[in-house]
Amino acid sequence: MNISLRLLSVLLCVCVATLCRADEFADLVVKLNGDSFSEKTEAVGGLHRLDDKRVLPVLKAMQDGNLFVVAEAGQIVIGKESGEGYEVQSVLDNSPLGVRTKSQLEKIKINNGLRRELRSLVAGLELSAKDPDIRRQSAINLIKNPDESLRESVESALGGEKNQAIKSLLHVALASIDINSTDTVKRKAAVAILADAVQPEAVAMLEKVAAKDPSGHYLEADTELASTAEAALIRIQTQLGIYKFIENCFFGISLGSVLLLAAIGLAITFGVMGVINMAHGEMIMLGAYTTFAIQQLFPQWLEMSIIIAIPAAFLVSGAVGVLIERTIIRHLYGRPLETLLATFGVSLVLQQAVRSFRANNVAVITPEWMSGMWQINGALSFTFNRMYIILFSLAVLALLAFLLRKTYMGLQMRAVTQNRAMANSMGIRSGWVDALTFGLGSGIAGIAGVALSQITNVGPNMGQQYIIDSFMVVVFGGVGNLMGTFFAALSLGVVNKFLEPFAGAVLGKIIVLVFIILFIQWRPRGLFALKGRFVED
């Protein structure tokens, strides 16, 4: 009895305390819209002392000029510009309150003193935030805009920071403040720290210190410092060069794996069956639209949508592929040029069909777990979606190679494509094998569409952009050879990326196309040509 009473009283106390605090937050927020700037400053200081995770967004919004009072209700909200008006959000519980026009909102004004105050408070809060991403972002911001007045916050944050990566960022932030100080010792230390950093901003600061006038003398009075900076710069430049190279390779490989995904399906229909499927690009498009449709139909499963879309897109594009094979291509075996024309017709029809749904250029949402990146250091980071695409395309390739080489179905496919009559007489139903092979190629194109939807907009023409490139990959790698397709796709991707910086994207592409056109003259059957008699007829 006694105990329970005590418990009750304790509970009560806690409730009251939180209530009080909640009230305090609300009260202080209202005071942010006080009549004088001193009242506002006081409220800001009060908020800062609260241990409440709602404080940071409010102060940040205030600093950025995104804190508003709703005209008639007097309610204080955070606004985000959208279209004509602002999308607003309650400061108390972050609940969305819809869109308001400019005239319905009144901005909470701040003056320079308050702005300075806010900046240091916000920085302090951010640097001590629990979420490492916020801390990291804040450190990066500090490096970009070094601010003498924030030095203390940075120093204290450095003391408490456990995360090594963020710690080194903070060091750089500190150095970027110190480098502008008058104290030679501090500056020397700063240069030493910057010399180990690879952030572009750090490089810029070093460059400033090491700058020379036209006659070759340092602009910097402290020549010793300047020459250390210069030496450090040389070292950093080579380091940056290496990172740039790695990054180019990564981008190239990721571009290559997109090409690979787009081309694998083609390698089957063209390479294994000898069918030129000009509608291949539209199979990719169907896959991308399937992803979009799934996100529209099941918004609650957004995070899983991509995973669901992979089999779904395979089935949709595969089914369309089987349909095309049974109704059209079946009549055209042994007439490759005619197949090219007929499937081109199919591609026109599919494109126009999608266009009539008026779903041009829709954007597919990237799920949380696929966005973000793996930050290695200031100059090098790999985005997750590209890494997933690389892994995914390799997995698809491996699966396919297994299917073709090691399964009975693969054996049948190869048998039919190499000698139809013989396979028929051995009891293989070549019609179905053809349909399934074509369906497989198309289905893989659909999967490629799922991957592509993560990096570009989805539209009726998206297939067209990839079809010529995919053909180039297959032709370059050698028809009928998955290994060749793999190497061709990756090398074309990488070459394209390396050409881009000094030739531009378009010219780079032209160069690659011309290169392949010339390459075909040298090796008409591609890098990894199939050998044997039948290829000659």
The 475-514 contact track toward ligand ATP, x by CB under 6 A, reads ----------------------------------------
Shortest separation between residue 180's beta carbon and another protein, angstroms: 39
d(CA 21, CA 28): 10
d(CA 133, CA 368): 14
Residue among 318 and 526 whose Cβ is closer to ligand ATP: 526
Count of residues interacting with ligand ATP (CB under 6 A): 2
Q: For residue 108, give the DSSP letter.
A: P
Shortest separation between residue 485's beta carbon and ligand ATP, angstroms: 22
d(CA 439, CA 182): 72
Task: Measure the CA dihedral 484/488/490/492, to 10°.
Answer: 180
Alpha-carbon 6 to chain mean position = 55
Helix-helix angle 164-178:200-209, to 10 degrees: 30
- DSSP for 418-473 reads H-HHHHHHTT--HHHHHHHHHHHHHHHHHHHHHHHHTTS-B-TTHHHHHHHHHHHH
Q: Which of 2, 3, 532, 537 binds ligand ATP (CB under 6 A)?
A: 532
Q: Is 13 helix (H, G, I), strand (E, B) or coil?
A: helix
Shortest separation between residue 433's beta carbon and another protein, angstroms: 21
Give, in degrees to the nearest 5, the angle at Cα 181 between 177 and 183. Answer: 130
Shortest separation between residue 533's beta carbon and ligand ATP, angstroms: 4
Residue among 402 and 534 whose Cβ is closer to another protein: 534
Residues at the site binding another protein, with contacts judged by CB under 8 A: 276, 328, 331-332, 336-342, 344-349, 351-353, 356, 468, 471-472, 475, 506-507, 509-510, 513-514, 516-518, 520-522, 524, 531-532, 536
Give the position of tokens 């020459």: 227
Residue among 378 and 526 whose Cβ is closer to ligand ATP: 526
130 binds ligand ATP (CB under 6 A): no
Shortest separation between residue 50's beta carbon and another protein, angstroms: 57
107 strand-pairing partners: 68
Residue 102 partner contact from ligand ATP, another protein, none using kind-dependent CB cut-offs of 5 to 8 Å: none
Residue among 141 and 419 whose Cβ is closer to ligand ATP: 419
Residue 509 partner contact from another protein, ligand ATP, none using kind-dependent CB cut-offs of 5 to 8 Å: another protein
Shortest separation between residue 437's beta carbon and another protein, angstroms: 18
Residue 507 partner contact from ligand ATP, another protein, none using kind-dependent CB cut-offs of 5 to 8 Å: another protein
533 binds ligand ATP (CB under 6 A): yes
Shortest separation between residue 102's beta carbon and another protein, angstroms: 36
Residue among 524 and 532 whose Cβ is closer to ligand ATP: 532
R_g of the chain, CA atoms, integer Å: 31
Region of 98 (left: φ > 0; alpha: ψ -120 to 50; beta: rest) is left
Region of 222 (left: φ > 0; alpha: ψ -120 to 50; beta: rest) is beta
Residue among 365 and 503 whose Cβ is closer to another protein: 503
Region of 504 (left: φ > 0; alpha: ψ -120 to 50; beta: rest) is left
Shortest separation between residue 525's beta carbon and ligand ATP, angstroms: 12
Residue 524 partner contact from another protein, ligand ATP, none using kind-dependent CB cut-offs of 5 to 8 Å: another protein
Give, in degrees to the nearest 5, the angle at Cα 47 between 42 and 50. Answer: 135
Chain residues in the site for ligand ATP (CB under 6 A): 532-533
